[in-house]
Each structure stands twice: as C-alpha cells, then as structure tokens.
Amino acid sequence: MKTIVTGGAGFIGSHLTALLLERGHQVMVVDDFSTGRAENLEAITAAGDLTIAEADIAGPEAARLVDQVRPDVVFLLAAQSTVQVSMRDPVLDAKANVVGLVNMLEAARLAGCRKIVFASSGGTIYGQVAAERLPVAEDHAHAPLSFYGVTKAVASEYLRLYRTEYGLDYAVLALGNVYGPRQRPDSEGGVVATFAHRLLHGLPCRINGDGATTRDYVHVSDVAEAFVAAARSGTGVFNVGTGVETSLLELHRLLTERTGSHLAPEFGPPLRGEVRRIRLDVARSGRQLGWHPSIGIEDGVGSVVDWLRSGSEARRVPDDLEFPARGRRQ
Ligand SMILES: NC(=O)c1ccc[n+]([C@@H]2O[C@H](COP(=O)([O-])OP(=O)(O)OC[C@H]3O[C@@H](n4cnc5c(N)ncnc54)[C@H](O)[C@@H]3O)[C@@H](O)[C@H]2O)c1
C-alpha cells in the first residue's frame, strides 16, 4: 500500500509510520515539524520505503506532494492539537485543523486516493457526557467544549460529505488520551510523560482541579494498530480507547509506584474547555475493525518510565506544566 502520513514526525505519527514500514508499506511523511521531531523517525529511516517531506498541510506544497505520490491511503494526523491554544487562538487552530483538512481532502480525491484515516479526539468531540452514557458510543451527539474539539467534530462532516460526493472512503478514529514512548514531556496533553518525567527528576506534579478528572488512556502501540486496521476495513467513526476510566490521582499513584517517588501532587484551579470524565465504548472498533486494546494503563505506564529512564535531550520539561492538559487532545 502506498501511504502518506501527515504529522508523521509527531508522537503518534512516528509510531504509525514505523508500523506501516514494518508491514511492508510505502510511506511519505508530510510534516511541518512544528511539534514533531526528525529524531522520532531516526530509528526507522533505514527500515523501509520512507520519504520525509517538510510541508504545511494547509499549503500548496502538501497538496502537490499528494498529487505526486498518488497514495492509496492518507493518514491525517497533522493538527494543532492543543485545547488551550484553540481557546486562545481559534483562528490559528482552524487554519491547521479545518483549512489543512480540506486542503488534504481536495488533494486526496483529485489524486484518486482510496481512503482517509483521520485522527479525531474521543475526549473532546462528545463534550461532557452524562454519567449514565459512559462509556460513550460513537452515536452520541457531538457537543465539544473547546474549539479544538469543534474542529475534530466538523472533520467527520467533511469526511462524510467527501464520501457521498466523491466516493472517498474514510475512517475517523476518535482517540482516547494516547500515551507511550516518544510523547514529549513538555507537550501539553502528555500527562503520563510529564508526570513520569517530573517524578523521575524529584519534582512535584501539578493537577488542575481536584484530581478526580478522568481520561481513557490508550497506549500508542495499540493506537498505531488501530490506524492500520482502519486502512483495511470500516467506514465512519470508531472509538479507540480502552473503555477504562483513570483519574489523575490514580494515574499519579501508578506513576509514583513505578518511579519509586513519594512526592505528593500540587493542585491548581480547573481549566477551561476540559471535560471532567470520559470513557470510550470500543465495541464498534472490535466488531468492524477487528481492533482491541491490548495494553492496560498499569502496564503501559511502565513503557513511558522505561523510555524516559533510557535518557534523551528530548525528555526535558519546563517546571510550569499543569494538568489536566493546559492542554490538548485526550
Ligand atoms: N495524543 C493524544 O492523546 C491525542 C488524542 C486525540 C487525538 N489526537 C490527535 O492525533 C494527532 C497526532 O497527535 P500527537 O499526539 O501525535 O501530536 P504531535 O504534536 O506529536 O503530532 C502532530 C504532528 O503534526 C505536525 N503538524 C502540526 N501542524 C501541522 C501542519 N499545519 N502541517 C504539517 N504538519 C503539522 C507536527 O509537527 C507533529 O509532527 C493529532 O491530530 C491530534 O489532534 C491525539
């Protein structure tokens, strides 16, 4: 399969790129390196048929690349992916996430692409779901609390209409809070990496709110598998999580155990745009994509701690990060 992965130099995109290459697929990464890093791809550049191109998904160069490659499948992961940035600057957010999306969809349909697999956000598109509707299923109404969530929700409508109008197939993956190796500890949504990094460096973690805020944490290797599965089968929206809710306090406890730290968290006021609880129903992904999560949070946090312990310049973190998110996606 000939593929393009936008955002392939990022956290999730680099894992997806590695998996595609491992399975013998051809990959062109299109990334503007705004949050992505070349070093995320260093270990895999010799691993298969990989080309890396620097371009903005909202610009003509990215469209030209799609035209040149004529991919079977385009994986759309490039995005402004920070909730708080979207609240501060909805125009900037919409340029990447709406104009960039439409630019890629136009290019893909003109290039005769078969399918789009899009990275959406199960933690934001549904908004604050009533407790009795958790775990939330894909047929739940969209009611995002952030502009970032709005862009992810509207993407589903664009994709639906491109399929109706042009027969361009699509799968939207509504991801839970993705964590795992290569997530930047200085990224706003990388709470697992940031907490782990701080605890390993003897620094307290800051929690915004009372710590009861929950997320559905899903390991990045499971997420990469879901993208590959969605390239093969399934049309529409698919939740990609574990169906398990973990509170920030529980996550903090797991990480103190794993790192051997005894530091108590510090607390700050809750943030705008963040849902309080979320847990995704992943039954449809199991049925239609044949995808099931395989790593639970208790084991999964170990992969992050081990990766951070293995050391790298990229694991530097400023002292003032706050959670949940100042931040992004989930
Ligand atoms: N990490 C999560 O928990 C999570 C949860 C839900 C959804 N998502 C979505 O998954 C996708 C990947 O997220 P991630 O965690 O890997 O983030 P990331 O920031 O590591 O990756 C995003 C990549 O896109 C690139 N990019 C950003 N704007 C671009 C543009 N205009 N043109 C070209 N490249 C651009 C960045 O350089 C980066 O490499 C995003 O769409 C995000 O919204 C992530």
pLDDT tier at 123 (50, 70, 90 boundaries)? very high
Mean pLDDT of 136-162: 97
Q: Is 148 a catalytic residue?
A: yes
Q: How many angstroms is it from 131 CA to the middle of ligand 1?
A: 29
Pocket of ligand 1 (CB under 6 A): 6-7, 9-13, 31-36, 56-58, 77-81, 96, 100, 119, 121, 175, 177-178, 189, 329-330
Residue 266 has pLDDT above 80, yes or no: yes
Closest residue to atom 6 of ligand 1, CA basis: 121
pLDDT tier at 314 (50, 70, 90 boundaries)? very low
Better pLDDT: 43 or 49 = 49
Residue 183 has pLDDT above 90, yes or no: yes
Closest residue to atom 2 of ligand 1, CA basis: 178
Q: How many angstroms is it from 260 CA to the middle of ligand 1?
A: 31
Which residues are 116's β-sheet partners? 74, 170
pLDDT in tens, 58-71: 999 999 999 999 99
Tokens of residue 38, six digits: 């070349």
Residue 330 has pLDDT above 60, yes or no: no
- Give percent above pLDDT 70 in the chain: 94
Q: How many angstroms is it from 302 CA to the middle of ligand 1?
A: 23
Q: Which domains does the chain have, with CATH numbers?
A: 2-177+219-240 (3.40.50.720)
Q: How many angstroms is it from 253 CA to the middle of ligand 1?
A: 28
pLDDT tier at 322 (50, 70, 90 boundaries)? very low
Tokens of residue 138, six digits: 């894909």
Residue 46 has pLDDT above 60, yes or no: yes
Closest ligand 1 atom to residue 175 Cα is 6
Q: Where are the strands (E) in 183-247, listed by range? A: 206-208, 214-215, 217-219, 236-240, 246-247
Chain centroid to Cα 248, Å, comes to 19
Phi, psi of 150 (to 5 degrees): -65, -45
pLDDT tier at 185 (50, 70, 90 boundaries)? confident
* Cα torsion 142, 187, 177, 292: sign: positive
pLDDT tier at 186 (50, 70, 90 boundaries)? confident
Substitution candidate for ligand 1 out of 4, 5, 6, 12 with most atoms within 8 A of CB: 12
- For residues 138 and 237, the answer to whether their CB atoms sit within 8 Å is yes
The gap between the terminal CA atoms of the chain, to the nearest Å, is 29
pTM: 0.94
Query: Mean pLDDT for the chain?
Result: 93
Closest ligand 1 atom to residue 58 Cα is 31
